[in-house]
Amino acid sequence: MQNANNTELLQSARKKFATFRELSREVGEEKAWETMLTGFPELQKKRMGPLLALSTLIEGFNKAIPIFNASGMEMEAMDISNRGIDAALEIQKVCPYLEVCKEFGFDIPCHVICELDMEASSRAFPEMKGEILSRQALGSPVCIFKYERPAKMSTEAG
């Protein structure tokens, strides 16, 4: 699990935790969180846009698996599309943030990492809803994220 991508991911996380801790001390947690979101939706749009532009969420998530796995996470994705809703589950078996957050005095990494990512994604892609269903930090064996959006209409005549 110790590779260049993993080291970069952990360094980025350390920077986020340090910044959030410092901002929280200076302006309070709520304002710190909003400050951390500044520019983040635009970054999410740049990162995720090409994957989400594919016909279905599962196509995008399947293309993301090697990227996540290269950074030390163990990701799986499951298509749960149904009833006109394009939906997928992102399942993470490894949370590299569990130990890093403790270095900065946080019990769990979810608010600073995952919830921030979810909020940035929802602002970047208002047509998509995201939800955290399961968290390793709270004792679950995996982290599970659900994403959904209206299914794209088929171009075939029906």
Domains of the chain listed by start with CATH number: 4-150 (3.30.1380.20)
Question: SS3 of 158, please?
Answer: coil
Q: pLDDT 10s digit of each residue in the chain, 158 long?
A: 445 667 888 899 999 999 999 999 999 999 999 999 999 999 999 999 999 999 999 999 999 999 889 888 899 999 999 999 999 999 999 998 998 999 999 999 999 999 999 999 999 999 999 999 999 999 999 999 999 999 987 644 33
Instruction: Rounding to the nearest 10 degrees, give the CA dihedral for residues 61, 112, 43, 95.
Output: -30
The burial of 120, by beta-carbon neighbours within 10 Å (0-12 exposed, 13-18 middle, 19 or more buried), is given as buried
What pLDDT is stored for residue 156 in this prediction? 43
What pLDDT is stored for residue 7 in this prediction? 83
Tokens matching residue 54: 């594919």
What pLDDT is stored for residue 5 in this prediction? 67
Contact of 17 with 82, CB cutoff 8 Å: no
Amino acid at 125: F
